[in-house]
Amino acid sequence: MFFHVLTLFPDMIMSGLDTSILKRAMERGIIRAQAVNIRDYTLDKHQKVDDYPYGGGAGMLMQAQPVYDCTMAVLSDIEKRREQDGLREAGKPTRVIYVTPQGKVFDQKMAEEFAKEEELIFLCGHYEGIDERVLEEVVTDYVSIGDYVLTGGELPAMVIIDAVSRLVPGVLNNDESAMTESFDQGLLEYPQYSRPGIWHDKEVPPILLSGDHKKVEEWRREQSILRTKERRPDLYEKWRNEHDRCQ
């Protein structure tokens, strides 16, 4: 999986991805990432990439030209590389994801869809956004990470890259993969305990020490359901409808 992030703050992206599990995956060549500076594509003699919005209003807008040229350069690099690699996936359209609070809200299901791609392009906006005309021409997916406003698309792009990367085969080791269960069936993870058996007068639920694997599994499933009902009634309702059963 190769992530291309088009941004005015490339250092933010590269330093964000250069740690922990993603760093290990990049060193192993399982995932690749590059941050492309949109400013490198401006034709303005003062390197300007923004201007005032027509009609007035607060803030500045990113202009169409540098965003368009930057996107086209990355798309054509991808196509060239595919042709060199012996036409693998050649001609396949590459998704261009614009991260914006006006997008569809990102979830685990979307992460699974994105993980099927070989290359993903993220377009990060800043200021008050990007000229609508270039968005119409290059963007395939509008994606938000939740109903709040951030200063730019870099953190959302990194959030999505993290969630997608951990689904790419080989990125996680076995222990890490076990964590996948959280949203797997639309339920939250059950509570977990480690040593010591008693801490602050609190005992580990005795069933976990019983050695009865079937009972443990039943208990965990019950806890997942209870926890989802309590903490995320919206997810619980969805789970109940999808499983068409009562608890």
Residues of this chain that bind ligand 6GU (CB under 6 A)? 99-101, 144-146, 148-150, 152-153, 156
Written as one letter, the residue type at 100 is T
> Which of 110/216 has CB closer to ligand 6GU?
110
Q: How far is the CB of 146 from ligand 6GU (least distance, A)?
A: 5
Q: Which two tokens stand for residue 49?
A: 């990439």
Return contacts of 16-22, CB within 8 angstroms, 24+ apart: 16/154, 16/155, 16/158, 17/158, 17/161, 21/165, 21/166, 21/171, 21/172, 21/176, 22/161, 22/162, 22/165, 22/171
Report the nearest approach of ligand 6GU to the CB of residue 161 (Å): 12
**Closer to ligand 6GU by Cβ: residue 21 or 152:** 152
* Closer residue to ligand 6GU (CB): 153 or 186: 153
79 residue type, one letter: E
Residue 92 CB, shortest distance to ligand 6GU, in Å, is 25
**What length does the chain have?**
247
In whole angstroms, how close is the CB of 149 to ligand 6GU at the nearest point?
A: 5
For residue 141, the cross-strand partners are: 97
Residue 193 in contact with residue 204, Cβ under 8 Å? yes
Choice between 30 and 150, CB closer to ligand 6GU = 150
Q: Which is nearer to ligand 6GU, 1 or 99 (CB)?
A: 99
Q: Can you tell me the distance from the alpha carbon of 152 to that of 157, in angstroms, rounded to the nearest whole number? A: 10
Q: How far is the CB of 142 from ligand 6GU (least distance, A)?
A: 9
Q: Which is nearer to ligand 6GU, 90 or 150 (CB)?
A: 150
Cα distance between residue 214 and residue 191, in whole Å: 17
Q: Annotate 147-175 with b (16+ C-beta within 10 A) or e (fewer).
A: eeeeebbbbbbbbbbebbbbbeeebbeee
On whether the CB atoms of residues 92 and 119 are closer than 8 A, the answer is no
Q: How far is the CB of 139 from ligand 6GU (least distance, A)?
A: 12
